Structure formats: structure tokens, C-alpha cells
Amino acid sequence: MIGALRGKSQRLGSNSIIIFCQDVGYKVAVNTKIIEKIKEDKDLFIYIHTHVKDDCLELYGFLTGEDLFLFELLIEVSGVGPKTALLVLERSEKEIREAIISSDVEFFTTIPRIGRKNAQKIIIELKSKLGSLVELDLTGKTDGQTKEVIEALTIMGFKRAEVGQVLRQLPKELVTTEEKVKEALKRLGKR
């Protein structure tokens, strides 16, 4: 399996490049974000995902290990293939992670090839893998107050995982951010 390539690059089309390594040219599918960054005939180091199907072998390239990791998580989701995952990675890694954590269905439906059901599948299947802090809410609405409480507690040095557990257990009667932070601090202090 090919994990990375280093060599001179040449643009092949709008979504692929050829990387020449030791006189062998490897065709690598990439997104436009990468196409814009590369300079032809310059040395390029690129992380590779080798995708094997019954009838072909394809290489997908990424400039960072984080993008490769996210790509591999995305293609594990039923209904999301490598070409669709490349389209998702046109957005920044930070935007994608935030959309998953905040259950932003609308973010994913703006990406070609992704409908509402696939957007919900991506969120459901990847939320736990990316360290979710809030309950699943597939309506696409986010709770700004919950985000404020999370930020306040993580700034105080508490781990995201324990903050998420405590927030799910808070009584519904607590309305203000201040009340929620105080109660969460009491519970976190007892651990």
C-alpha cells in the first residue's frame, strides 16, 4: 500500500495530478484546494490513501495527515465514497469538525453529492469519533449557551470528555449560563 509520495508534480486536470517518483508517474486524485497550492515541476510531499475496488486501484492525495485522517473517517460512512469525501475536504478541517460536533446538517447539504440523509449519517457516525461535546441534534440548530458553558469549563482546565458528561446530567431547571457553569463546577469538583 502506498502511504506517501515525494516527487515532482504536474497538473493533469481539475481534480488530479501526476507525481513523478524515480521516473514513475503516479496519478493522484486531489481536490481543488490542493491544485491551487501546488506548483508544477516543484518537489511535492503528499500523503496518500490507496483505495482498492474490485475493478481498479486509485490514489487520493492530501497535504496534511489531518486531512488524510478525516478523509478515511468520511469514507467509512455508508453512502460516502472517496470522490464525495474529497468534495467535503474542499472545506477546512476546522469547519468540518465544527459542523460534525454542532450537528450542522445544513453545512453538509451545501456540498455536492450529499443530501440530508447522508449529512445526518456523517454526523451520527463521526460525532463520537471526533470527541462530541453536545447531544445529537439533527435539526441543525445549535445551542449557543451550551457552547459558552463548554468553553468556560475547558478554559478552566477541565477535559472536554468530562465536561460533556456533566453537561448531559445537568437539571433542566438551570436556565442561565452562570447557573449551568456553577452546577457543572460542583459536579466536576466531586470527581
- Residue by residue, DSSP assigns 80-94 as --HHHHHHHTTS-HH
Residues of the chain with pLDDT under 50: 132-142
CATH fold of 144-189 reads Helicase, Ruva Protein; domain 3 (1.10.8)
**Residue 143: its pLDDT value, please?**
58
| Three-state DSSP state, 48 | strand
Which residues, 6+ apart, have CB-to-CB distance to 16 below 8 Å?
27, 28, 29, 30
- Whose cell is 447557573? That residue is 179
User: Cβ–Cβ contacts within 10 Å for residue 114, how many?
Assistant: 20
Query: Distance between alpha carbon 27 and the CA centroid of its chain, in Å?
Result: 25
CA angle 171, 128, 143 (to 5 degrees): 45
**Torsion angle of the four alpha carbons 4, 69, 28, 94, in this order, in degrees rounded to the nearest 10:** -120
| Three-state DSSP state, 121 | helix
Distance CA 166, CA 182 (A): 12
Q: For residue 46, which phi and psi values (nearest 5 degrees)?
A: -140, 135
Identify whether the C-beta of residue 31 lies closer than 8 Å to the C-beta of residue 63.
no
User: Tell me: the pLDDT tens digits for 25-36?
Assistant: 999 999 988 888
**Residue 94: its pLDDT value, please?**
85
Distance CA 117, CA 125 (A): 12
Query: What does the block give as the cell for 110?
Result: 451545501
Domain 1-63 of CATH type 2.40.50.140: yes
- From the candidate CATH numbers 3.40.30.10, 3.40.50.2300, 1.10.150.20, 1.20.1250.20, the one assigned to the domain spanning 65-140: 1.10.150.20
Strand partners, 28: 17
**Residue 138: its pLDDT value, please?**
46
pTM score, whole prediction: 0.66
**Residue 140: its pLDDT value, please?**
43
**Residue 38: its pLDDT value, please?**
80
Show me where the domains of the chain are located.
1-63, 65-140, 144-189
Is 144-189 in the same CATH topology as 1-63? no
User: Tell me: the pLDDT tens digits for 42-52?
Assistant: 888 999 999 99
